[in-house]
Amino acid sequence: MSFWNNLMVQVRSITNLSEHIDTSEAEKAIRNSIYFRGPNVWILGFSIVIASVGLNVNSIPVIIGAMLISPLLGPIFGIGLGLGINDTGLLKASLKNILVMMSISIVASFLYFLITPLNLSNPTELLARTNPTIYDVLIALFGGFAGIFELARKEKGTVFSGVAIATALMPPLCTAGFGLASGNLMYFLGALYLFTINCIFIILATYLTVKYMKFEQYEYKDEKAGRRARRFITIITVIVVVPSIWSAIVMVRENRFNENVAEFINTNKNLYSGYIMDYKVEHRKGSRVEVYFTGEPLSASEKNNLLESAKEYGLRPEQVIIKEHALVEGTDEAEILKGIYERTDNEITRREAEIKKLEDELKMLHASDIPYEQVAREAVNQYPSIQSIFIARGAKVNSGDFRKNDGLLAVVTTAEPLDNDEKSRLTNWLRIRLGIENVTLYEFHTTEKTDK
């Protein structure tokens, strides 16, 4: 018992924060960072341009630079702090400033993408910010924890820069601007959803940490005003926490559905006399997948088999929509040919693997074959008294355990007995001739003459 007590003492000593944090300085730093005035206005403008250009040219380093200089984290931490210490003034100011910054970012990036002469042929960085997953939730939550811990500790480090990169607030807003400029509502809503998720979970992490570290609560001179403030804070907290929990649950479900779909498609990529050219997952009005199948039409039984296969991956039949000879939006002839080539390559690879397997099995069978006739001729040529020779592989029986044995059993019948030296030489010759070390020789003498 003392071991566990000592262990717990050590753990508490290592994780103790009291000597390493300064909550009053952290509160002061957050309050100073929430306002949208002075340098923050210029810095926000710089970060918008940098993020928009980075997304426009698909440059990850440029996008990271925009994340680092963006001032958006300040008012977000301010909201979490205001909720944690019951300060409605701080909460309202932070909410107002983050909404102003969001609006300016979206409008400015909208104008940029409206006039930019550069076209995005492969906008992977934009696409990456339109489909939030459960991993974005985890990154935002633990990034928020890391950020508030960094603000609260006495010895400052480089953690805040990492938080700015990990949580990625500016790129989604600029992606939303691109969605407006290109008329793509899904880009706009997806990017805005990602930004909202990042904000909510950073706020949640800040709120929980402020409560855990026991930041000094804001005191109201008027008791009535204090009750109103606490009621308002409670409502806002519920508005923040409940959607965050629900969105996390929804994302876990969607992520699991996406993984099941990917496994299902990979298993059934080449099916019967056709192949799955592409698929599209939708989560609006319930999760479902549209499977684009090309090749010879599927029979009713083949479709049923495909839907039965989907059940093995947790997909209900009504969630799988089979579209034969249908083209996905944006798919051209090159994509179709690519699918045909991929199917052909996969089939060739599969058949080559089967051929290789059969060749290996054949080699093993040939390796175990004994050239009886040739060995018998050579043995009789060296020892004319041999009338017959039988060679067989054997198996050892050891305490009821039947094990394969690489040894050989050779039985010879002779007209004239072989002396010990001849037996030894014959055994050694068989070892060398057949390439097997373990050879057992038995001789039977007979007076009957046999034509060789």
pLDDT at position 452:
40
Q: Do 303 and 271 touch, CB atoms closer than 8 A?
A: no
Beta bridge partners of 408: 393, 439
Q: What is the dihedral of CA 369, 372, 377, 382, to 10 degrees?
A: 80
Q: Do 315 and 261 touch, CB atoms closer than 8 A?
A: yes
Distances (CA, A) of 61 to 193, 403, 435: 24, 63, 64
A 10 A CB-CB count for 299 gives 10
pLDDT at position 77:
92
CA end-to-end span of the chain: 88
What is the distance, to the nearest Å, from the Cα of residue 32 to the centroid of all Cα atoms in its chain?
A: 39
pLDDT at position 78:
92
Report the C-alpha gap between 417 and 411 in whole angstroms. Answer: 13
Quote the longest CA-to-CA distance of the chain.
Answer: 129
* Overall size of the chain counted in residues: 452
Tokens representing 245? 């929990």
Q: Is the pTM of this model over 0.75?
A: no
Contacts of 218 (CB under 8 A, 6+ apart): 85, 86, 87, 90, 229
Q: Give me the tens of pLDDT residue by residue for the chain, a chain 452 residues long.
A: 577 777 777 777 777 777 778 888 889 989 988 888 888 889 888 999 898 888 887 788 888 888 888 888 899 999 989 888 888 888 889 999 999 999 999 999 999 888 887 666 555 556 666 667 777 788 888 988 998 888 888 877 777 778 887 777 888 888 888 888 888 888 888 888 888 888 888 888 898 898 888 888 887 766 676 777 777 777 877 777 777 777 778 778 888 888 888 888 888 776 666 677 778 888 777 788 888 877 677 778 878 888 888 888 888 888 888 887 654 444 455 555 555 566 566 667 777 788 888 887 777 666 566 777 788 888 888 888 888 888 877 665 554 554 555 677 788 888 888 888 888 888 888 888 877 778 888 888 776 544 44
Tokens representing 404? 């394969």
Q: Do 35 and 93 touch, CB atoms closer than 8 A?
A: yes
pLDDT at position 333:
53
